[in-house]
A = this chain, B = another copy of it.
Amino acid sequence: MKRPEAFIVSIGDEILIGQIVNTNASWMAEALNQIGIKVPEVRTIADTQEAIRSTLDQLIGKYPIILMTGGLGPTKDDVTKTTLEAYFGGGWREDSEVLMQLEHFFKERNRSLNDANRGQALLPKACKTLLNKMGTAAGMWFEKDNSIVVSMPGVPYEMKHIMETGVIPGLKKRFSLPPLLHRTFHTEGIPESELMGIIRSWEDALPPEISLAYLPSAGRVKLRLSCLNQNGTGQELLKQAEHDLREVLGGEIFGTDKERLEEVVVRLMIEKEYTLATAESCTGGLLAQHLTSVPGVSATFLGGIVSYDNSIKIRQLGVPPEYIQQFGAVSKEVVESMAEGARSITGADYALSSSGVAGPGGGTVEKPVGMVWIGLATPEGTYSKCFRFGSTREGNVLRATQSALNMLRKHLIGMPWTENFWEKTP
C-alpha cells in the first residue's frame, strides 16, 4: 500500500535569514508520519507572491497534500492569503463564524477589534475554513487538480491547534492511511561504524516490512525501526526485531523512543531508593544540569560540588593535595577521591565525578585535550574510567556528561562498564 504524501511549505523570510529555526516543519512531519503520511520534502520559501505562486505551480497535481504555514498575519507584509485568493480565484467572503471567534478573542483580552484584525474574517470563497481558537488567522483548506492545499499561520501553537483540530481529522477522513509503526532504540558511546559491524547480521535478517535508520549525534546512535503494519502483524514483527536486537546489544540500549538517558538514570535511582551526588571538574555543572532537567529528580539527587579550582577539590571534597601534586588533577586517583568526597560530605549512596582536559587549552602529550576521567563512588567501592573524546570544549563536556550518566546506569543494571564490549578480543 502506497502511503499518501504531504509536502510541507514554510513561508517566511525569518527562516531564510537564519533568524529562527524551522521547528514547525519538524512538528508537522512527526505528526504526519505518526498517522502514516509520508513527507517527501520540506521547502522554506520567501514570503512573496512570486515564490508562493511558483511553488504551488510546481506542486499542485503532483502531490495529494500540500501544507503551508506562515504569512497570515494582519500586516501588509503578510501576502499568503491574497496570493491564494488570486491563485484559486472566486473572490472573498466574510466568515461569520471566524468573525464571532475574533470578537470573542479580543473581548477575552480586553482589547477592541480594529479594522486590521476584522480583516482576518475575510476569507477566499474557494476555501473551507479551519477555525483557529488560539489566534486571529484562520486555517484555509483549498482543493485543485487532486491536491489539497492547506494554509495555516506560522505561530507554532496556532499551527498545532489547527493541525490537531482541523487538518489531521480531515486527512484521516479523506485517505485510507497505512498503519505505520515506529520504534527507536538509543545507544551511547558506541561509534556508528562499530555499531554497524556489531548488528550487521541482525540488520540483514530484518523482514522486508521493517526498515532501519542510523541516526548519529555526539557520542550517540539512535536506531529507528519503521514497520508497515499491513496484516496487523506489525507489532509482532517489531517485537521480534527488538528481541533479537536486545540479544546482540543487551544493556547497551539505554532507552527507547523519546526516553532520555538522564530520565532513565533518575528512574532507576528512584526505583532503587538510592540518592546521588556529583563532583564536577571538567563538566563544570553540566552533569548536575542534565540530572536536574528531569522533573521529580529531587527524590534522588541531593546536589553536587563544581570543584573547578583545585582549592575546592581539596577543601570541599577532601582530595589529598599530594594526589594533585603527584598524579595531576586529571587522574584516576583524583577523580576517585572526588567521587568519594562528594559521597561522604552529602551522605548520598552514589556519587559521580569528572576531571578532564576540556580544551581548547591545557592539553599535553600525556593528557591531551579530550582526555576525561569519570569516577563513580558506590556503597561497594569506587570505580573510574578514562575516556578520549574529541577536540571541541563543548563536545568534550557533553560527551563526558553522557558517559558519566551511562556509567552509573550500567552499574545500576549490573553491566560491566570499564571496557567497551566491542573492543574485547573474543
Task: Judge whether B309 and A214 touch: CB under 8 Å.
Answer: no
- Our pick among B134, B218, B315 for the contact of A391 (Cβ within 8 Å) is B134
> Per-residue 0/1 for A89-127: is the Cβ within 8 Å of any B Cβ (1 yes, 0 no)?
000000000000000000011110010110000000000
**A83 CB within 8 Å of chain B:** no
Residues of B within 8 A of A328 (CB): none
Interface SS of chain A: mixed
How many of these chains are in the complex? 2
Task: Judge whether A196 and B388 touch: CB under 8 Å.
Answer: no
> Residues of A within 8 Å of B, CB-based: how many?
109
**A26 CB within 8 Å of chain B:** yes
Given A20-B26, A26-B20, A388-B110: A74 touches B193 (CB 8 Å cut-off): yes
Given A109-B390, A298-B308, A360-B295: A17 touches B33 (CB 8 Å cut-off): yes
**A312 CB within 8 Å of chain B:** yes
Given A288-B284, A304-B306, A306-B278: A29 touches B42 (CB 8 Å cut-off): no
Question: Which of A20, A110, A216, A361 neighbours the largest number of chain B CB atoms within 10 Å of its CB?
Answer: A216
Distance A116 CA – B216 CA, assembled complex (angstroms): 15
Task: Judge whether B197 and A109 touch: CB under 8 Å.
Answer: no
Task: Judge whether A43 and B46 touch: CB under 8 Å.
Answer: no
Q: Which of A220-241 contact B (CB under 8 A)?
A: 222, 224
User: Which stretch of A375-383, A392-400, A410-418 is in the interface?
Assistant: A392-400
Distance A21 CA – B284 CA, assembled complex (angstroms): 27
Task: Judge whether A308 and B303 touch: CB under 8 Å.
Answer: yes
- A218 to chain B: closest CB distance in Å? 8
Distance A360 CA – B359 CA, assembled complex (angstroms): 35
Task: Judge whether A23 and B26 touch: CB under 8 Å.
Answer: no
**A269 CB within 8 Å of chain B:** no
Task: Judge whether B31 and A41 touch: CB under 8 Å.
Answer: no
**A164 CB within 8 Å of chain B:** no
**A316 CB within 8 Å of chain B:** yes
**A291 CB within 8 Å of chain B:** yes
**A301 CB within 8 Å of chain B:** yes
> Per-residue 0/1 for A272-293: is the Cβ within 8 Å of any B Cβ (1 yes, 0 no)?
0000001010011111110111
Task: Judge whether A308 and B302 touch: CB under 8 Å.
Answer: yes
Residues of B within 8 A of A278 (CB): 285, 306
Q: Which of A37-94 contact B (CB under 8 A)?
A: 38-46, 51, 73-75, 77
Task: Judge whether A316 and B298 touch: CB under 8 Å.
Answer: no
Distance A388 CA – B109 CA, assembled complex (angstroms): 5
- Our pick among B18, B73, B116, B361 for the contact of A31 (Cβ within 8 Å) is B18
Given A288-B285, A298-B309: A224 touches B19 (CB 8 Å cut-off): yes
Beyond A15-B26, A19-B215: 14 further Cβ-contacts under 8 Å? A16-B41, A17-B30, A21-B22, A22-B42, A41-B44, A73-B214, A74-B193, A75-B214, A108-B388, A109-B388, A111-B191, A116-B197, A134-B390, A316-B316
